[in-house]
Structure 1
Amino acid sequence: MESGRDVLLRSIAGQRRRLAAGSLLGAGHQAGEALVPVLIGLAIDQAVVGASWGRLLMWLAVLAVVYVGLSFSYRFGIRVGERAAEEAAHDLRLAVVSRVLHPRGGAEEGRLPGALTSIATEDARRVGAVIMAVLAGIAALTGLAVSTVVLLRMSIPLGLIVLLGTPALLWLGHLLGKPLERRSEVEQERVAHASGMAADLVAGLRVLKGINAEGAAVERYRRTSRDSLSATLRAARAEALQNGVVLALTGAFIALIALVGGRFAIDGSISLGQLVSAVGLALFLQGPLQLLAWVNAELAQGRASAARVAALLSAPHAVTGGGGLPGAGAGEPPGAGAGEPLGTTSGAGEPLGTITGAVRLRGLTYDRLTGLDADIAPGELVGVAATDPAAATALLRCLGRQADPESGSVELDGVPLRDLDPARLREAVLVAEHDAILFEGTVRTNIGGTAPAEAMAAAGADQLPGGEDTRVSERGGSLSGGQRQRVALARALAAGRPVLVLHDPTTAVDAVTEARIAEGIRRVRRGRTTIVVTTSPALLAVADRVLLLDDGRVTDAAPHADLLRRNAGYRTAVLA
């Protein structure tokens, strides 16, 4: 299992060239900054005290060269460091998104969409910022090393003060960073939870208004937001305490160096120029020491974020095993029009075999499903009416292999789905969820597929005011509920999969439109296996037969009209 430390080390290793270049330039900048007071001291001793204009001009020229060099180093060192940090964060975002979108799933379990977004954005940014912190830390240590060497050559006691005092300050900063790391981790979790809840509230705003639950939802979010604010304030207090204590100790440390240097100058142990250099170095040291305090804070936050990223990347897959190709070895279709060779290929270029679309459920047990048995013939249009919505959801998850059953199996053309590669399976079986998400663009760009015009007509999406050019905002917010459903259904139909599973595709459309859509689905999907999980009478009426899913298993199966006549439980589920 990957740890936060592994994530940090991998991010640093991936940017080692830029990190090395940036560290070298940063070290050059800090070394130049440390040499400035030394050069000023030499100019005082050799030019001012000796009253030599020539030497004064020479040292001024040397100072000018040093300033140009340290300015160049700072500018390009920061540029390289920022580039490395952004590249590292970008690579991590890609890794997080790839894990979330992995065909075997599992990363989303126990995490709200907003939490996933927070990990992919803010946590990835903080881990990337560790690159810049490492670069800054190397530069600051270089400045401290140059200052220590100069002070040791000038006066051994002064050098020893710096040599012994600096590690003590660094260790103290590390200890003070521990509470910040813990509180930062809690802060990120609470912020992610609040973001996730806000995203869910926005997505379900129309539903909340419909049931007059806005007040309860707002109050729930207010409590979550307060928890997030409290965690953020605790983290900010920990960071302020760390910075304040380190800054106070740093000031005392610098004052001690200036005091000892002044005493040595009075005793004649060091010259006037050396005293100026010592005081200048003492003032300069405030910069590297403050920089190291900032580095400690960044590392603390980076470690907390890296742990969250590592937990997501290491999340167990929802489905495991299975690398087979749908249609491989399935044989020829049993009848004309039933088979459908797919021309799509995998990442390796291997085409799928012929898919007949025969679906078999044998002893399927998962969540609310208990020993479910069913056979769906190739090219059949089957309705599934579930008395328990949770059982319907469980069935959809198993058909799309979002989860493997606890026992029993789902088979496609005689091959268990658990033996098939989930990514390639979805080229053969498409499960169109009830809450399908639309993308920003137009209806045409959302639908795509092989026959978008025919699919739009079947789904009633051609009746939109702008037709296929109708603009669609993010998540389809510019469309009504019924319009979104029609576009989503058209997209599912246009995909042309051998097996299509639809879940309540018409709950937001009127009865007349629903009846027309039902006929359109039957027309477009003729000869290809279609499973419609719904309690809509209009959709169930066009099915070849309907399976009544009750108490986790199929309790009756017949055409819609026959079930209405003979089964009271079916009438309650469909007509209530």
Structure 2
Amino acid sequence: MQIRDLPYLDPGVPDTRSGLRYLVWLGRNQLGGQLKALAWGMLHFVSVMALPYGVGFAVQAVVERSGTRLALAGGLIALTTVGIAVGDTMLHRTAVTNWITAAARTQQLLARRTAELGSALTRRVAAGEVVAVSTGDVEKIGWFVEAVSRFLAAALTVVLVVVGLLVYQPALGVVVAIGVPVLALGVLPLLPRATRLADAQREKAGKATELASDTVAGLRVLRGIGGEELFLRRYRRASQEVRRAAVRSARMWSLITAVQVLLPGLLLIAVVWYGIGLVGEGRIEIGELVTVYSAVMLLSYPLRHFEEIAMAYSFSRPSARRAARVLSLERPSGGSGDASDGTPAGDLYDPASGLLAPAGTLTAVVCGDPDAAGRLAERLGGHAAEPEGLPSVLLGGVALDEQPRETARAAVLVQDKDPVLLSGSLTELLDVPASGEVSATEALAAAECADVLDALAQAALDGDPMGAPITERGRSLSGGQRQRLALARSLVADPEVLVLDEPTSAVDSHTEARIAEGVRALRTGRTTVVLTSSPLLLDRADRVVLVHESEVVAVGVHRELLHKEPRYREVVTRETEAERLAVRPGPGAGEAIGTDGDAGDITVAVAVASEIDIDIEETA
């Protein structure tokens, strides 16, 4: 695999059982590149370590005044120099290729998993962690993958040098053979603590990244409520913790580096001291001493890769663990593709809760718990993994989890309460897989996007709002504008079943009433499920379902449930039964407000308020 061949046609199925297993899987999938790097690394390191022999041979030739041997030494030095240059150049090329391809494979896998999980990803993993894995972590993973081949080349070279010195000069070779393992393993006791400190630094850096990402995403809201400074203080504290952790980690690694310098120096002293004695005794030649000394001095170069592989593994292990965690997330696998002919249609039924949304109707669902409403929306769309023994949602009598994922997604579209807008133009935003029966103009009108179009037209160079740029996540727009554009996108798709989770929570009551009418008119004949507690939406639904503790407890229409179901009234009006009874009108009070004093009169007033577009939260 070359860099020019990226991206992969198929990045493969990763082993996500652990961070180490994922690193091994990456290395195994780049075996060809690893072997190339190993071969070029051997050429480079062996050429480096052969240079001392040429120098020693040259020194001995000068001592013996042999021109022929001096010429041979010069040729050997030139040959090793060429080997060093070619080996280093090609090693660098293959190492960088291995690094980039490993990082690209990881990024490709992350992008694929993000697309598969969609909005469910950020419900399971913090957005900041996803950002950290997709940026800094992939670099560290690539670093370790490419460092392995260079480390193996360096280790093999060290073994060859030690064996060669034992053969070339046994007396000094024994000293080197004893000293080199000490050099290689001398820092081993320090590595566990260095690894723990590196893990702590990465963990704190990941949390700081998550906090920064979440703060930026909610900056508009934070400014609105005066919480900007509070979150900035939190980020400052988090960044200082990262700094202190980084300093502690750097101190440990600097100690390891110092040991890596000290031990080779001690070995050199031992070799020179012992070698001079051997020269004085006439047991070895001066050229041989120069060769052994130079070889030991240059051994620090391949030995540095022992420290590098330790650092690379320490930094990449938590990164690989986080990447494996994200990549291990899955949706229900779906069927084989033969479960039904075409896209299923009909009534939408959830056996677990008893929720039924008849085909072609607008069904509103009221949940007292917003989180429970979000989970129910995920379940209706087949986005949530079903616990063992829990039946699947049925569409037209067909289980969604028995359908291929593409079929299920085409049949049921879920818009969660915090939809994401990708960067690009409005035309690109609305360019989604669709039935073709709903135009962008109709969808924008139903979602009450006239003011959004005006704002975008002012930002566009040619005054065309459809070509105006929309920033990432729609941060240049207000919350209500983002919500309405997302709703228009969902309406353009025109799925068989559309599930909307609080689609108007960020708009005012007048706009909300018009959106309710627009959605009802545009979705005529299609199944629409709206999870909401807004009276303006509930009053326009064909059918209202109250879900309490994950079960359907009441079904009817809005005004009927207001009169008959206290739990429904409590959720919709934000008024408990005790509060309602506490303000029950006394004798004669009914005449004062034009009622007969019935306890249900307050709820009748609520229903009337919703009819004339009064903000129910303000009147309640």
TM-score band, normalised by shorter chain: 0.7 to 0.9
Match of 1:442 among 416, 425, 431: 425
| Residue from 453, 458, 461 that aligns with 2:441 | 453
Q: Is 2:586 the partner of 1:572?
A: no
Contact 2:426/2:468 (CA < 8 Å) preserved in 1?
Answer: yes
In structure 1, the residue matched to 2:416 is 433
Whole-Å separation in 2 of the counterparts to 1:152 and 1:513? 88
Aligned counterparts of 2:113 and 2:333: Cα–Cα separation in 1:
17
**1:42 is the counterpart of 2:54:** no
Aligned partner of 1:460: which letter?
A: E
Per-residue deviation at 1:104?
10
5+ unaligned residues in a row in structure 1: which ranges? 330-351, 365-371
Name which of 333, 354, 357 aligns with 1:373. Answer: 354
Distance in 2, matches of 1:541 and 1:468, equals 33
2: CA distance between counterparts of 1:544 and 1:223?
52
Q: What's the counterpart of residue 350 of structure 2?
A: 361
Moved more, 12-21 or 216-225: 216-225
The unaligned stretches of length 5 or more in structure 2 are 1-15, 458-464, 575-609, 611-615
Partner AA of 1:76 in structure 2: M
Task: Give the aligned partner of residue 594 of structure 2.
Answer: none
Q: Provide Cα deviations, 1:91-114, integer angstroms capped at 9, x if missing partner.
A: 123334444544599876663111
User: In the alignment, residue 412 of structure 2 is paired with which amino acid?
Assistant: V
**Residue type matched to 2:573 in 1?**
T
Q: Deviation digits for residues 431-481 of structure 1, max 9, x if unmatched?
A: 101211111111111111343333223223354132211211111112222
Query: Structure 1 residues 122 and 460, CA, compared in 2 at 3 Å: closer, same or farther?
Result: same
Match of 1:30 among 45, 59, 71: 45
Q: Give the fraction of aligned pairs with identical amino acids, expressed as a percent.
A: 33
* Cα offset, 1:508, TM superposition: 2.7
Normalised by the size of structure 1, how large is the TM-score? 0.86
Residue of structure 2 in register with 1:520 after alignment: 518
Give the equivalent residue in structure 2 for 1:345.
none
| CA distance in 2 between partners of 1:93 and 1:122 (Å) | 11
Question: Which digits, 9 at most, give the CA deviation of each residue in 1:157-182, with x for residues without a partner?
Answer: 21122222222322233332222222
CA RMSD of aligned residues (A): 2.8
CA–CA distance in structure 2, aligned partners of residues 503 and 106 of structure 1: 14
Give the 5 Å matches for 1:48-63.
48-53=62-67, 55-63=69-77
Whether the 8 Å contact between 1:254 and 1:286 is mirrored in structure 2 is: no
2:25 aligns with 10
Q: Residues 423 and 114 from structure 1, CA distance in 2 versus in 1: closer, same or farther, beyond 3 angstroms?
A: farther
User: Greater CA deviation, 113-122 or 470-479?
Assistant: 113-122
- For the structure 1 residues 122 and 436, does the alpha-carbon distance in structure 2 shift closer, same or farther, using more than 3 Å as the test? same
Cα distance change on mapping 1:45 and 1:551 into 2, 3 Å? closer
Look up the match of 1:168: 182
Q: Deviations over 1:53-102 (max 9, x none)?
A: 56544533432232122101101111101101221122123334444544
Alpha carbons of structure 1 residues 98 and 482: separation in structure 2 relative to 1, 3 Å: same
From 105, 129, 135, the counterpart of 1:121 = 135
Which residue of the partner structure matches residue 613 of structure 2? Answer: none
CA contact (8 A) 2:367 2:532 kept: yes
Runs of 4+ in 1 over 6 A off after TM superposition: 104-107
Aligned partner (choices 376, 394, 400) of residue 411 of structure 1: 394
Does the 8 A contact of 2:344 with 2:396 survive in 1? yes
Q: Are 2:343 and 2:407, in contact at CA under 8 Å, matched by a contact in 1?
A: no
- The answer to whether the Cα contact below 8 Å between 2:169 and 2:288 also exists between their aligned partners in 1 is no
Distance 1:50 1:140 in 2: 34
Instruction: Check if 1:529 corresponds to 2:527.
Output: yes
Alignment partner, residue 226 of structure 2: 212
Residue matched to 1:287: 301
Alpha-carbon distance in 2 for matches of 1:555, 1:13: 55
On the 8 A contact 2:502/2:530 being kept in 1, the answer is yes
User: Which stretch has the larger CA shift, 210-219 or 131-140?
Assistant: 210-219
Q: CA deviation at 1:144?
A: 2.0
Q: Which amino acid aligns with 1:323?
A: G
1:570 and 1:190 map into 2 onto residues whose CA distance is 41
Alignment check: 8 A CA contact 2:344 2:398 kept: no
What letter is aligned with 2:134?
A
**Structure 2 letter corresponding to 1:356:** A
2: CA distance, partners of 1:216 / 1:422: 43
Residues 106 and 214 of structure 1: is their aligned pair in 2 closer, same or farther, counting only changes over 3 Å? closer
Letter in 1 for 2:570: G
Of 119-128 and 280-289, more deviation after overlay is shown by 119-128
Matched-pair contact (CA < 8 Å) for 1:173–1:296: no
What is the distance in 1 between the residues matched to 2:37 and 2:336? 47
TM-score (structure 2 length as normaliser): 0.80
The structural deviation recorded for 1:209 is: 2.5
Q: How does 1:293-332 map to 2 (within 5 A)?
A: 293-314=307-328, 317=330, 320=332, 322-323=334-335, 328-329=339-340
Tell me how far 1:232 sits from its aligned partner.
2.9
Kept in 1: contact 2:533–2:572 (CA 8 A):
no
3-state secondary structure, aligned to 2:410: coil
CA distance in 2, matches of 1:5, 1:126: 13
Shift of 1:279: 2.2
Q: Please say if 1:382 is aligned against 2:363.
A: yes
1:109–1:512: structure 2 CA closer, same or farther, 3 Å change rule? closer
Q: Which amino acid aligns with 1:389?
A: P
Q: Whole-Å Cα distance in 1 between the matches of residues 509 and 497 of structure 2?
A: 26
Is 2:152 the partner of 1:138? Answer: yes
The whole-number CA distance in structure 2 between the counterparts of 1:226 and 1:459 is 45
Match of 1:426, SS state, is: helix
**SS of 1:557 mapped into structure 2:** strand
May I ask how many residue pairs the two structures share in their alignment? 542
Secondary structure class of the residue paired with 2:266 = helix
Does the residue aligned with 1:355 lie in a helix, a strand or coil? coil
Q: Find the aligned partners of 1:311 and 1:376 in 2 and give their Cα distance.
A: 36
Residue 253 (structure 2) aligns with: 239
Question: 3-state DSSP class of the match of 1:460?
Answer: coil
Judge which range, 305-314 or 171-180, deviates more.
Answer: 305-314
Give 3-state SS (helix, strand or coil) of 2:477's partner. coil
Aligned to 1:427, the other structure's residue is in SS state helix
